Structure 1
Amino acid sequence: MADIRTVIYKYGLLALFALIIVFFFTALPAFGTLQNLYVILQSVAVTAIVALGVTVSMTVGGFDLAVGSTVSLSVMVVAAAQIYHGLGIVWAVVLGLAAGLLVGFTSGALIVYARIPDMLATLGSMFVYSGLSLILTAGKSVSTGNGYNGQAAKGNWDPKLLWIGTGTVFSIPFSIILAVVATIVVVLFLGRTRTGRILEAVGNNPRAARLAGVRTGRYRILAYMISGLLSALGGIVLVARVGRGDINVGSSYLLEAVAATLIGYAVLGANRPNPLGTAVGALFVGVVVNGLTMFNVPYFTQDFIKGALLVVALIVSFSKIFNTRQQED
């Protein structure tokens, strides 16, 4: 019996994922096409990149609730830089990424120096920077020819910037390649570098890390800055895809990124934040949403179904029914 629970614990989510794919592939001929595969991967590219940031923050025992507002802020910064101020792609991207680093540093500083609990600190950052993204554009969306406060627009969208979200490399959308590269980099960073291992040590046992001479506060701030940077990168991909800076566009990515990260806990029984599991979790959600959409399932039921999948993944990861590691607790 214990062996069955162990198998379910390690491979249950992947088995469920495979069954869902087989079902959609059998019931929907268009589901298995290469074009639809690209549609799925493009739809989860931003979510996966943002979720990787959440994963890094959770590695140090934190939880970054500001990722959605970071996406919104980077979108509005890039849009304002291009349309309002006529800046080129380099400045627009640099400013967008800098916005993410600023959010991450603020959250980390509040946690380390002001000693505010992670969730409360990042919740405060979420509201502050969500409001700042509105102030930057006077609460209006940014589109081609749309000036600021009655002034004429000084610039337009750079085709090179839009290519980040819509271009292809050997027929593969660049946004997909970027998400894959980001996943590989974070996997290698956390698993193969000294800094990555220290981040995990800080999360697993901060007291032991401090006794070993690790300046845990600096590493926690670093984790949140990485989270902010990845969220900003997701925002840049998003604004490049739609060619428009919509207000609060990043709000939905908080829940999606958190769901992908927590579903990743159940991948191969990791029971901890891991970037590979996060990528699988994002793909899992994307496949389900795509299949339900092709089945014409009403959009207002999809959040319920995604929530149900998340609950199942959490039960597999944390419940004593399947998680034999907690049998002794």
Structure 2
Amino acid sequence: MTTTSTIVVAEDPSVMVRVWRRLLGVQKEFPVLQLLAVAVILVIGANALPGLLNPSSIRLMLVMAAITGIAALGQTLVIIVGGIDLSIASMIGAGALAISQLPSITGLDFWVIFVGVIVGAGVIGAGVGYVSHRFDLNPLIISLGAGAIALGIALVLTGGSFTGTAPAWLGKFMSPISTTFGLPIPPVVSLWIVIAIVMFVLFTWTATGRRLSAVGTNRKAADLTLIRSRKMWVIVFMVSAIGSAVVGILLAGYSGSADLTLGNTYMFQSLAAVVVGGTMMGGKGDYNRTITGALLITALNTVLIGIGFSYADQQILFGLVILGAVVAYGRERKLRDRI
């Protein structure tokens, strides 16, 4: 009696498959495609707009990217833990309105009002995180309602007045031509750099960063490992609300006054920065990707305005960019599963 053994030899993947695997691995760790897109946009823009890459234009773009990036800080954290924050626009408007109107109305010092805004925003944000997690409610709806409450409180406290202005020094802080300790870096950009370093340390070397990622990956599993997911939700929504209020204060300095619609643009752009950066669509969840997304959105927006695109045209194109990012990352996951 003869026994025949069959040995199955795994087929060696082709060169193209191996290259694709390597590219996917690199893109998963670093936003290479997004950085390449920024470079391409700037090169194309420089050809259409000769002064685009002048130092003054670069500084202006960095200021705009810093505002978007700071606005997207909280949204990044919220999305990492599995939520979404739609209170950003209202919180920005409330912060701008309070800081530009209340000092003259109440006679209180700027910093007293500043602390009050931060505390108020933090309480409202923490409430959104707690209620959403405790009662398993959609944070999209809860945050939208909380933002409306915050803006309403600001309107009541200021009497609906829009005649005040932000301090002159705040305008200088936001100016693209201002320097940081003599270096040709606008102060708000320096602030953004500090925030980026703190976030890098948080996600690279701290247990808190690992807990945030664990909660976003699987909340129930995180709870079983004694990670307090509710506490994480409260913290990230609080940070998002405070960050949005701070952006409102910065924008009041940049524009010189407050407007109820001041935060509308940044609501969309902050979310777009997170999505395009890749954190929301399966990339490694961290703030570095959001930074890249903010740079990409700002470069694209600058070029579109420079060549004469209307606001409606920009919204359409931004929507297409987001859809493209979603499709690309969805395709990446399917290919990764197949190979």
The TM-score bracket by the shorter chain reads 0.7 to 0.9
**Structure 1 residue 14: Cα displacement:** 3.0
Residues in 2 aligned to 1:112 and 1:275: alpha-carbon distance in whole angstroms: 23
Residues in 2 aligned to 1:266 and 1:63: alpha-carbon distance in whole angstroms: 12
2:158 matches 1:137:
yes
The corresponding residue for 1:163 is: 172
After superposition, give the CA deviation of every residue in 1:293-318 in whole Å (9 maximum; x if it has no partner): 22122333111111111211221122
Report if the CA contact (8 A) 2:95-2:117 is conserved. Answer: yes
Number of positions where the alignment pairs a residue of Structure 1 with one of Structure 2: 314
After superposition, give the CA deviation of every residue in 1:246-300 in whole Å (9 maximum; x if it has no partner): 2232122111100001011079x96244211111111111111111222122333
After superposition, give the CA deviation of every residue in 1:29-49 in whole Å (9 maximum; x if it has no partner): 201101100111112221110
Matching of residues 189-268 of structure 1 within 5 Å: 189-265=202-278
The corresponding residue for 2:322 is: 310
After superposition, give the CA deviation of every residue in 1:110-166 in whole Å (9 maximum; x if it has no partner): 11233322222212212222333333333332424xxxxxxxxxxxx4333333323
Report if the CA contact (8 A) 1:77-1:95 is conserved. Answer: no
**Which of 88, 93, 105 is matched with 2:126 structurally?**
105
Residues in 2 aligned to 1:204 and 1:219: alpha-carbon distance in whole angstroms: 13
Residues in 2 aligned to 1:298 and 1:127: alpha-carbon distance in whole angstroms: 28
**Structure 1 residue 88: Cα displacement:** 2.1
Report if the CA contact (8 A) 1:47-1:282 is conserved. Answer: yes
Unpaired runs of 5+ in structure 1? Answer: 145-156
SS of the counterpart of 1:115? coil
Residues in 2 aligned to 1:266 and 1:96: alpha-carbon distance in whole angstroms: 29
Relative to structure 1, the CA distance from residue 13 to residue 2 in structure 2 (aligned partners, 3 Å threshold; closer, same or farther) is farther
Report if the CA contact (8 A) 1:40-1:286 is conserved. Answer: yes
The corresponding residue for 1:150 is: none
Unpaired runs of 5+ in structure 2? Answer: 1-15
Report if the CA contact (8 A) 1:73-1:99 is conserved. Answer: no
2:94 matches 1:82:
no
Matched AA of 1:313: A
Report if the CA contact (8 A) 1:51-1:258 is conserved. Answer: yes
**Structure 1 residue 3: Cα displacement:** 4.9
The corresponding residue for 2:5 is: none
Matching of residues 33-72 of structure 1 within 5 Å: 33-72=54-93
Residues in 1 aligned to 2:113 and 2:39: alpha-carbon distance in whole angstroms: 41
Report the structure number with the largest CA radius of gyration. Answer: 2
Matched AA of 1:21: L
Matched AA of 1:107: V
CA RMSD across the alignment: 2.4
Residues in 2 aligned to 1:64 and 1:225: alpha-carbon distance in whole angstroms: 11
After superposition, give the CA deviation of every residue in 1:221-254 in whole Å (9 maximum; x if it has no partner): 0111111122122112111212212223212211
